[in-house]
Chain A
Amino acid sequence: MRFLLTFIFIFCYNNSFAHEMTPAYPKFSTSYINNVSTTKMKLFNKREEVNYYKVEVWDNDWNPVAFASTNKIIKIGYNKTMLFDVYVQTKDIKYVVYICTVSKNFKQEQKVTLVASRICSKID
């Protein structure tokens, strides 16, 4: 019963916005460029108030790792899905642990706390 109520609540409560990214455990493969590896990620934006997400690549100690992507700031509409590639030099692959997307919020003219969402996939 409780499960059913939770389920109904989740699907009927519309005033909420989500950020999702897959896969959770991406794998790098060789790209068409020498000494560069790539992986494909998928971003889903169900945050109506967010249109931009930043791509980040981190090592195990949360130090940034150099990478290239189609767009480091992705513009994505509400309820849209976008595929993006992350390219890392093959010599740096051993350092890459997390690939993240973080929402970019617009400045608001109120006394508010904005919520920035960040989802990180982990390289196995």
Chain B
Amino acid sequence: MLNKFIIISSLIFASPAFATNSPISGSVQAKCSIWTETQGVYGNPLPNKLDTLPASGGTKASIRVDIAQANFYKTRFTHPISFSSSPTLSDTITWTGSTVVGQVSVSGMSAYEAAKVVSPSNVTTFDMTLAGSTWFTVSSTALYGYNKSFPAGSYVAQIVAECIAK
């Protein structure tokens, strides 16, 4: 009698076992993002000079690079050595520029400035050894001929910001 009761109750109360798939999902997130925060603007302090320095009435370009994983990327900034569009220019232009580390989210990133490699003269490379955000400031100056005035018109030059996996 007791055996029958045990068997019947176990049939009633036994919960069935289900085999289900339990997927593990995940997504690959970008480890390096380039954020163009401020587009540079040339000021025209002298007839023969276009300059992004605020003192010259310009605005320096500000580019933020977010690194999610330390030591996986290097960043490279190329400041302009030609205009991508401009009026017809008959004389040579002397280009100068620089890329410097601005704000940093981790204090150790300040060392990027000392460790940067400038080669060739308009290309600056930084080894992103820490995770976080770094703001880079790019400036550019164009001097036209020997005391010649730039012709009136619009002038556009291009900065290239790169994130390269190591």
Q: A residues within 8 Å of B by Cβ?
A: 2-3, 6, 10, 13, 15-25, 42, 44, 47, 98, 100, 102, 105, 107-122
A102 to B163, CA, bound (A): 10
A-B contact count (CB 8 A): 127
A44 to B35, CA, bound (A): 12
Q: B residues within 8 Å of A by Cβ?
A: 28-37, 39-44, 50, 52, 61, 63-64, 66, 69, 72-73, 80, 84-85, 105, 132-133, 138, 140, 154-166
> A21 to B162, Cβ gap below 8 A?
no
A23 to B105, CA, bound (A): 24
Neighbour of A6 across the interface among B29, B33, B37, B133, CB < 8 A: B133
**9 closest residue pairs by CB, A with B:** A113-B40, A20-B30, A122-B165, A111-B42, A117-B34, A16-B37, A6-B105, A118-B162, A115-B36
Best-surrounded residue of A44, A109, A112, A120 (most CB of chain B within 10 A): A112
Known: A24-B165, A44-B30. A113 touches B36 (CB 8 A): no
A32 to B73, CA, bound (A): 32
Residues of B with C-beta under 8 A to A105: 84, 158
Best-surrounded residue of B31, B50, B72, B132 (most CB of chain A within 10 A): B31
> B156 to A108, Cβ gap below 8 A?
yes
A114 to B160, CA, bound (A): 8
Residues of A with C-beta under 8 A to B64: 16
